[in-house]
Structure 1
Amino acid sequence: MRKIIIPFVIILIGVLFSSVYVVEEGTKGIVLRFNKMIALSEPGLHFKVPGIDNVRIVDAKIQTTDSSKNGMEQKFINREKNYLIVDYFVQWKITDFKRYYETIAGGNSIEDLLMARLNGRLRAEIGKLDIIDIINDANTEMKSRNSLMLRVKDALNGKQPNAKSDENISNGQFDDQSEGNLEKITSMRAFGVEVIDVRIKQIDFPAAVSKSIYDRMSEERKVFARDKRFQGYKKAEEIRAQSRLTATKILSEAEKQARIIRGEGDANAAKIYADTFSKDFEFFSFIRSLKAYEQSFKENDIMVISPDSEFFRYMKLNPNIKSDKK
């Protein structure tokens, strides 16, 4: 009896272990029965029918695919017919696991499909812009790198009505006429994938044209610098001229006020003298004579004049004055 029970227990344990599977956090389990999806398992412990059901674990987190992972340069042509080397990446996640499994079950690679469509859409968008628009992030219009990446992301998510056919996108071919006529969207939703973000990491010119472009940009910066310096000199001269004009006005006004004050002072002094001398004319004449004597008799001067002249009237001794000498 024991010989029968032991094999039965071993078989039971084997069946139990083969029917149990664990889905880790950040992943989903696609349950397959005869290679057809019958269920989607969330993270945790689950059971399946041994020998009939298979489970395929797929990453449910946001994934990043880089254009430079294969070491191939991505060359594009902008509207100015310049070759550009663009390095970019795309972030995506699985939203419809049934469609995703149907895609990969047919032998297709989601990353290859995504990069082919992204590459073609970027080629179309870059072909519409000049290099300054592609590099510039501050442009508020639709001609900027940010708006370019947003348009590409919307196209991959099926939000743009005018896009390329799968054949044109896969081959990297586009033209303005076909873009306006085709209605099929460059969308990854048909494969159960949603694009979260598209970012351009770096834009370079081929080495053959980098030096000429650098020289041209350097000359443009020099012209810009000279123009700024000229504007600075012009502004400085305007400020100096305005300062000199202001200083001249201030000095003129000050001189005007000084002359007015001096004139008023002289007039007041003359009026005081006139009022004072009008009260005693004899005293006024005496003071005038003293000033005349002071101005006339200088050192080593010789004056020929009669002592009886009116000029010496106040120098004569007044007989009415008594002398103290005896």
Structure 2
Amino acid sequence: MRKLLPALVILVGVFFSTIYVVEEGTRGVVLRFNKIIDLSKPGLNFKIPGLDRVKIIDAKIRTTDSSNKQNSREQKFITREKKDLIVDYFVQWKIVDFNRYYEAIAGGYSVENLLLARLNGRLRAEIGKLDIKDIINDSNDETKSRNSLMLDVKDALNGTNRTDDLKQSDVDSSDHLNSFDESRTSMRAFGVEVIDVRIKQINFPPEVSESIYARMSAEREVVAREQRYQGIREAEETRAKANLHATQIISEAERQSRMIRGEGDANAAKLYADAFNKDKDFFSFIRSLKAYEQSFSGNDVMVISPDSEFFRYMKLSKEK
């Protein structure tokens, strides 16, 4: 039994050295004498001890952000109008050919840096074809928009072209140029497929931003001044209309009051005339009393003869 124990230990060691586990979301590249002989899927796998070794590679979708790279600087892009823009972007990609990918990294390439470099160059070329308004325009336009720009960049990195909707003459005239761009931009040779390219932020350089903000401020000040002047003009017009309307109302009220007053005076005169015709002595007496009331109410001095007709109703009757 003791003689079998070392052999058993060796067998167990050999068994455990022949198995390895590939976790979910990764792949195992099996190397024999530094040559790729197999690609291991997630799960329990076997290898030849001493001859084979396994390199685990992440197979999940990766996101590379232009602003998160070490020693990254602001990248200026020039539009068709010769305007400078600072563009912040990211790219999502995954490995579709692990053999090519491993050969690339084994050869000393940094696939992520290479992807960013080619993406930057292609993005610079596409931005140079558009105006600022086209880049800012986030629409589904197939020719001039930010969406179209990002799709063109993604297809160029994948080595494909969106030529289905183009005229055949345009395709034939640009076949040579497209193939040349593909060879310089495509990441297919490194086993990488680009899932998506997105522009996160577009800014102007500080010196350009200050001039733009100053111009926008001046334009807004002009608009604000025009709005204030328009408000003052409308207020004056409203005030003038209100004054005119008030004057018309007052004039109409004054006219109606005078008509009513005239009608009242006419009715009063008619009543007085009717009363005078019925009893002239009583009417004369009433008028004299009113004259007495108005004459003796103040401190005025009257010089008048006592025998005047004015004092007719103030004299005592001689009849008993």
The two structures have a TM-score, normalised by structure 1, of 0.70
Distance in structure 1 (CA, Å) of the matches to 2:272 and 2:140: 87
Distance in structure 1 (CA, Å) of the matches to 2:145 and 2:242: 51
Q: Matches of residues 37-48 of structure 1 in structure 2 within 5 Å?
A: 37-42=37-42, 44-48=43-47
Once the two structures are TM-superposed, the CA of residue 19 in structure 1 deviates from its matched residue by: 1.3
SS in 1 for 2:307: coil
Matched residue, 2:225: 230
Matched residue, 1:79: 80
Once the two structures are TM-superposed, the CA of residue 21 in structure 1 deviates from its matched residue by: 0.7
Question: What's the CA shift string for 1:164-191, capped at 9, x where partnerless?
Answer: xxxxxxxxxxxxxx97863335544562
Distance in structure 1 (CA, Å) of the matches to 2:58 and 2:204: 33
Distance in structure 1 (CA, Å) of the matches to 2:17 and 2:258: 120
- What letter matches 1:29 in structure 2? G
Matched residue, 1:63: 62
Matched residue, 2:170: none
Q: Tell me, yes or no, if the aligned pair for 1:161 and 1:183 is still in contact at 8 Å.
A: no
Q: 1:278 aligns with which of 268, 274, 282?
A: 274
Matched residue, 2:93: 92
Matched, 1:18 2:17: yes
- What letter matches 1:193 in structure 2? E
Q: Tell me, yes or no, if the aligned pair for 1:149 and 1:200 is still in contact at 8 Å.
A: no
Distance 1:8 1:308, change over 3 A: closer
Once the two structures are TM-superposed, the CA of residue 78 in structure 1 deviates from its matched residue by: 2.5
Distance in structure 1 (CA, Å) of the matches to 2:94 and 2:257: 91
Distance in structure 1 (CA, Å) of the matches to 2:26 and 2:286: 123
Distance 1:37 1:258, change over 3 A: farther
Q: Tell me, yes or no, if the aligned pair for 1:22 and 1:46 is still in contact at 8 Å.
A: yes
SS in 1 for 2:195: strand
Distance 1:229 1:84, change over 3 A: closer
- What letter matches 2:271 in structure 1? D
Distance 1:107 1:90, change over 3 A: same
Matched residue, 1:183: 178
Show structure 1 runs of 5+ residues with no match: 163-177
Q: Tell me, yes or no, if the aligned pair for 1:93 and 1:196 is still in contact at 8 Å.
A: no
Matched residue, 1:254: 249
- What letter matches 1:79 in structure 2? R
Matched, 1:290 2:289: yes
Question: What's the CA shift string for 1:36-84, capped at 9, x where partnerless?
Answer: 4534412x33333445554321112232334463525444332233455
- What letter matches 1:226 in structure 2? E
Once the two structures are TM-superposed, the CA of residue 121 in structure 1 deviates from its matched residue by: 1.3
Q: Tell me, yes or no, if the aligned pair for 2:87 and 2:199 is still in contact at 8 Å.
A: no
SS in 2 for 1:182: helix
SS in 1 for 2:178: coil
Matched residue, 2:166: none
Q: 2:240 aligns with which of 216, 220, 245?
A: 245
Percent identical = 47
Matched residue, 1:116: 117
Distance in structure 2 (CA, Å) of the matches to 1:84 and 1:256: 69
- What letter matches 1:115 in structure 2? L
Matched residue, 2:193: 193
Matched, 1:307 2:307: yes
Show structure 2 runs of 5+ residues with no match: 164-172
Q: Tell me, yes or no, if the aligned pair for 2:91 and 2:194 is still in contact at 8 Å.
A: no
Q: Matches of residues 144-163 of structure 1 in structure 2 within 5 Å?
A: 148-157=149-158, 160-161=161-162
Distance 1:228 1:85, change over 3 A: closer
Distance in structure 2 (CA, Å) of the matches to 1:88 and 1:71: 16
Matched, 1:221 2:222: no
Count of residue pairs brought into register by the alignment: 297
Distance 1:95 1:81, change over 3 A: same
Once the two structures are TM-superposed, the CA of residue 249 in structure 1 deviates from its matched residue by: 3.7
Distance 1:131 1:265, change over 3 A: same
Distance 1:17 1:302, change over 3 A: same
Distance 1:281 1:220, change over 3 A: farther
Q: Tell me, yes or no, if the aligned pair for 1:26 and 1:61 is still in contact at 8 Å.
A: yes
- What letter matches 2:62 in structure 1? Q
Distance in structure 1 (CA, Å) of the matches to 2:243 and 2:249: 10
Distance 1:140 1:307, change over 3 A: farther
SS in 2 for 1:236: helix
Q: Tell me, yes or no, if the aligned pair for 2:154 and 2:194 is still in contact at 8 Å.
A: no
Once the two structures are TM-superposed, the CA of residue 246 in structure 1 deviates from its matched residue by: 3.9
Matched residue, 1:168: none
